[in-house]
A and B are shown apart, each in its own frame.
Chain A
Amino acid sequence: MSHVFLMAVYAALVSVFFALLWRRGARQRGKLFLQIFLGMMAGGLALAWLMFLFPGGPPPPP
């Protein structure tokens, strides 16, 4: 199961939702969809790389 794929699906769902809720017209909705979708994807990837700097969690089993 790809985490990035799940993140993309989630971002797409949320982006479509807010585009429909907050905008009128296909052009404006499309613009808001892209803004939110790309923002969520980029933000998620940025946070993922940021967390890479802080390795943690339990040690692997012997």
Chain B
Amino acid sequence: MPAKDDTAAASPATKVAKPVANPYLAAVLAWVLPGAGHAYLGRSARALAFLALVLSSLAIGCSLDGRLAWVFRGPPLQVLATFGGLGSGAPSLVLHMAGYQGAVEAPGYEYGSVFILTAGLMNMLLVLDAWDIASGRKS
């Protein structure tokens, strides 16, 4: 009969989270395609929901001709907006490669820019969530 596991008596502060999957892979997948990290972790329904939410935000932003920032050297806020937009991973890269920039003269430009930026920021949170689940910190 195996000995009783001493960790069962350990205080919560000393318990170490046990990884359930590769957190690096989960995070990369989550960034590349919104929801893919959660799909890798077996949360298919949530993966589809998050994919729909992030893509919806991106699509609404593009329909309003919002800006997809692509400035890596220049005004700090524009650089931040660039990295924020890149947070949605492959969809934003595809948009950029397709030549999408937005139209500053469009009436919905500012709103669309916010939707596009929010899509990226939401996906960044999904990356962190996937990491936490994969590393066992979150169920």
Residues of A within 8 A of B (CB): 1, 3, 6, 9-10, 13-14, 16-17, 20-21
Contact = CB atoms under 8 A, between A and B. Distances in A.
Contact of A13 (B46, B57, B107, B111): B57
Nearest to B129: A21
B107 A17 contact: no
B17 interface: no
Interface band, chain B:
10 to 19
Given A10-B114, A10-B115, A17 B108 contact: no
Nearest to B57: A13
B60 interface: yes
Contacts of B50: 17, 20-21
A13 B53 contact: yes
Contacts of B118: 10, 13-14
Given A10-B115, A10-B118, A13-B53, A1 B108 contact: yes
B104 interface: no
B125 A21 contact: yes
Contacts of A13: 53, 56-57, 60, 115, 118
